[in-house]
Amino acid sequence: MHQLNETHDTALTSWVESANQAGCDFPIQNLPFASVRRAGTSEPFRGAVAIGDHALDLAAVNAAGVFDGVVAEWLALAAQPKLNAFMAQGQEAWSALRLALSRALRTGAAEQAALSSCLIPLAELEYDLAMTIGDYTDFYTSIHHATAVGSLFRPDNPLLPNYKWVPIGYHGRASSIGVSGQQFHRPKGQLKAPDAAEPSFGPCKRLDYELEVGIVIGQGNALGEAIDIEAAERHVFGLCLLNDWSARDIQAWEYQPLGPFLSKSFASTLSPWIVTLEALAPYRAPFQRPEADPQPLPYLTGAANSAQGAVDMQLECLIQTPTMDAPVRLSRSNFRDSYWTLGQMVTHHSVNGCNLNAGDLFGSGTQSGPAPEEAGSLLELTRGGKQPLTLPGGETRTFLEDGDTIIMRAVCEKPGAPRIGFGEVRSTLLPAR
């Protein structure tokens, strides 16, 4: 677990004035990473760090020769179009570069003159995925989501017997994951109505979003070597937002006996900025199970995981239909309510000897809270499409319609701690081809 250090000091300010404004997602205590270039150009993508309403172009910083020694070597890796090589260096490298950047961006820093020309306004940027994603695993860590969905299909037995014992997950498709701004066509597939004698083929009619947290793996492990729960978070580079789109009607027909397939593989969308676990140190919280529930098996139990395995991360989902001038909120929830922790996901994934690699992505699964209005999907909010939502202006939705844009945001915020924002992930559903 990361400990509080000088980079978390709430008194720190930056010579980038916008980073000091109230409500800023990217103050100097954050410094998330992304892959960027100026929009509408053929410039190469390169690594960047967000500060206020600007991005610090790490390739330009590298060329300016501001740092030396091993920090300069790590900066050169972080300046590449993809962060995989930097993430593979491990926690020591991530922390040291973040500290060096923090010191160079602070009010009064001697590096201001050299770094000022390395800033690009966020409004002028376009993004690529920050890493090459070799493998993608989607978990199912929200017991509130699992219970709500289970109750729709199995009212007498919403949770399957293994849920409280095993961090459930499935291997998803990495090739169709895109970055915020992604547009995709309504998927087609086999559909079968409950009263139909046989399936038909056509466009999905029950297209849904899933509000998830993306977990980005940094340093991997060797094939055959499990990751101990006490060391698990040393393998997590950071967190982002993930919209794991779902075709519910395709899913209902295909998922037995092996789980999701074409209902999930057509698109998933990530937010561009990866917030490091170190930046989130002030927002770690105890991981606790209800006393009546089974406690995790010993390999999933550790002192640090129990003391601060949860993350107090406020999540928000909004919709903007083609007729709306501005988006409206659909729900809010908190990653703190997750039934399984980051460390438990990493440990369980590797316990059989599975090797993780830098740039691998985990999805947390849909993050829903205990209250109905905290549901992280339309499937839950509309009770399987039986209770349509009424939006401002009189529109209704059971599932998404063509042209709808879904926006997800997240922030960590509390008195006495710096506000850490994640930006947003935004994506739009197009008509079927």
- Residues belonging to the active site: 145
Say whether 44 sits in a helix, a strand or coil. Answer: coil
Sheet of strand 405-412: strand arrangement:
183-185, 420-430, 405-412, 314-320, 328-334
Structure tokens at 387: 């209770």
How far apart, in whole angstroms, are the C-alpha atoms of residue 263 and residue 276? Answer: 31
Q: Which residues, including other chains, have CB under 8 Å from residue 300's CB and lie 6 or more apart?
A: 167, 229, 344, 347, 348
| In contact, 154 and 188? CB cutoff 8 Å | no
- Compute the C-alpha angle 329/270/392, nearest 5°: 15
Beta-bridge mates of residue 34: 48
d(CA 186, CA 28): 40
Cα 174 to Cα 123: distance, rounded to the nearest angstrom:
28
CB within 8 Å of 36: residues ≥ 6 apart = 45, 46, 47, 48, 55, 57, 120, 125, 126, 127, 128, 272
- Residue among 397, 402, 404 at smallest CA distance from 433: 402
Identify the sign of the CA torsion 98, 111, 5, 141: negative
What residues contact residue 361 under an 8 Å CB cut-off, 6+ apart? 131, 133, 135, 136, 137, 174, 177, 214, 215, 216, 217, 242, 270
- CA 32, CA 214: separation in Å to the nearest integer? 14
Element (H, E) at 173: none
Q: Which of 138, 190, 203, 109 lies closest to 402 in space, CA to CA? A: 203
